[in-house]
Amino acid sequence: MNDWWKEAVIYQIYPRSFQDTTGNGVGDIKGIISKVSYLKSLGVDAVWLSPIFTSPMKDMGYDVSHYTSIDPLFGTMQDFDHLVDSLHRNEIKIIIDQVLSHSSNQHEAFIKSAQSKASLTADWYVWADPKEDGSPPNNWLSVFGGSAWEWEPQRRQYYLHNFLKSQPDFNFHNIEVQKYLLNIVKFWLDKGVDGFRLDTVNYYFHDKSLRDNPISPKEFIKPPVNSYYMQNHIHSINQEENLKFLQSLRKLMDSYSGKTLIGEIGDSHRAIDIMKQYTKDSRLHMSYSFELLGKEFSSAFIRKTIESFFDDDTESWPCWSFSNHDVVRHVSRWDESESEEFAKLTCALLLSFKGTICLYQGEELGQTETKMEYDELRDPPGIRFWPEDKGRDGCRTPMTWENNSIHGGFSKADPWLPVKEQQLAKSANLQERNANSVLNFYKKMIAFRRMDAALSKGNQTFISEENDLLIFFREYKSHNTLCIFNLNKEKIIWSKPDNLPVKNSLSSGIKIKDNHIEFSKFAFMIIQGFKGDLEN
């Protein structure tokens, strides 16, 4: 079906840390191929690969120097073709990252652009003259710290970089740039990929007048660790021209059958509104948000986030996740005890939401954040903002496949990031033979979602979030499913409706009495076939 993505459970693979087959300490494409049977047993519908393109790896592949070749670190194009074929034979779709907002400064087009204002690619990037005092043209800041402008002595101009100075931003106002990037997308579509996860999709266009950004509407008791968040980025990102380009991109996608676009929406002020805007009127199929990737975890916040997305538009579609390669793993972020009970609760909760679901590798093991030392870091923001912000390396450490093998079975060589005892204790081999493990619960919950039409297709209606007991219905035609989650660390007593069925349910940590149900901390119950009424 062409809208398969609406019901999909997507599994994000960070290739550097999945499986190494070459013995260089870095994961590779053949390593992913060797684990396709694992992905099949997990029950996911698609995988999303973080970048595998040729890159100097200043930002671990999100700085692309050649868009239509595979970096030798990961393998060859033949390996990639084999991966696509292997996944498709196992009925798993493949989605690849596309970093279109910026390239590496080692990209041929940027090298030529930096050398001369008369080069063929002179206007492919965002260049601006300095102010009279030699300072940058405006106050725009980089997500990775400091000014978003870097001086290039060859041109006597500044160039824009919303991220590292080695990641110059493309000038999307140049039609030739748009054509070039659309041709890259077409290349990978012709290779058989099923879709794209578009990195920083709302960063494509900039204000041509280069107006200063105003201060953030948020009030800070003291400045944040990263000064980037002190601005409201109304001119450097989220421009109206973005929407027209996305329609051109969507037109290309629609010329193929069954393809999908997921756009990463990064904005600290109005992300939900932008998510909705970007997924209507033949733009993106769905938007990937950071709203549930932050520090706040409460019933009220979850209800507000989901209801605000669906409050006025049925056409827009979200992709929800709790963890990814950019944030602290959610079991560590939200639960100080890093318990298996919490890992199972969040699995059941996420997979009960209306929308497409994305899981991050290791999440299905209940994996925790790796505690990093400064000399172990590889992530530029972590190195820059240490120790106030320890960066993203802690969530990127290698998968642990076998607890009794060197480096957890990830590699025979010292891995690019360390494998530590806390992560080894959650290795896949230990969990596969434990019926009550987090891994086996993920398998059960993914299968439960797939066979329950209400969970996979239905509307979501919230009933209550009082005292962090989150209750909502999922409804699809004649299918009704009631979901109850105790997000508390305390036991909660819930009055049981007389006609509450309990046979067709999936639960953990509950005790059913005559007229009530006891929910222990992080307990939940997902009940099929409930047709009664609950008071709001």
pLDDT in the model for residue 268: 65
Q: Is the peptide bond before 387 cis (omega within 30 degrees of 0)?
A: yes
pLDDT in the model for residue 270: 79
Q: What is the DSSP letter of 417?
A: S
Spatial distance between the Cα atoms of 373 and 387, rounded to a whole number of angstroms: 10
CATH architecture for residues 459-528: Sandwich (2.60)
CATH architecture for residues 4-103+175-449: Alpha-Beta Barrel (3.20)
Residues of the chain with pLDDT under 50: 536
Number of H helices, E strands in the chain: 15, 19
pTM above 0.85, yes or no: yes
206-230 pLDDT, tens digit each? 999 999 999 999 999 999 999 999 9
Does residue 100 contact residue 181 with C-beta atoms inside 8 Å? Answer: yes
Strand 66-70 to strand 149-152: parallel, antiparallel, or no bridges (unpaired)? unpaired
Q: Which two tokens stand for residue 498?
A: 């007389």
Q: What is the DSSP letter of 130?
A: P
Q: Which residues are catalytic?
A: 199, 264
Does residue 12 contact residue 47 with C-beta atoms inside 8 Å? Answer: yes
pLDDT in the model for residue 536: 42
Does residue 467 contact residue 492 with C-beta atoms inside 8 Å? Answer: yes
Give the domain ranges of the chain: 4-103+175-449, 459-528
SS (H, E, C) 347-409: HHHHCCCCCEEEEECCHHHCCCCCCCCHHHCCCHHHHHHCCCCCCCHHHCCCCCCCCCCHHHH
Taking alpha carbons only, the member of 246, 178, 236 closest to residue 207 is 236
220-261 pLDDT, tens digit each? 999 999 999 999 999 999 999 999 999 999 999 999 999 999
Spatial distance between the Cα atoms of 181 and 398, rounded to a whole number of angstroms: 32
The three-state secondary structure class of 534 is coil
Spatial distance between the Cα atoms of 485 and 470, rounded to a whole number of angstroms: 5
Count the neighbouring beta carbons within 10 Å of the beta carbon of residue 122.
18
Taking alpha carbons only, the member of 86, 399, 51 closest to residue 196 is 51
The residue type found at 245 is F
Taking alpha carbons only, the member of 462, 190, 264, 474 closest to residue 352 is 474
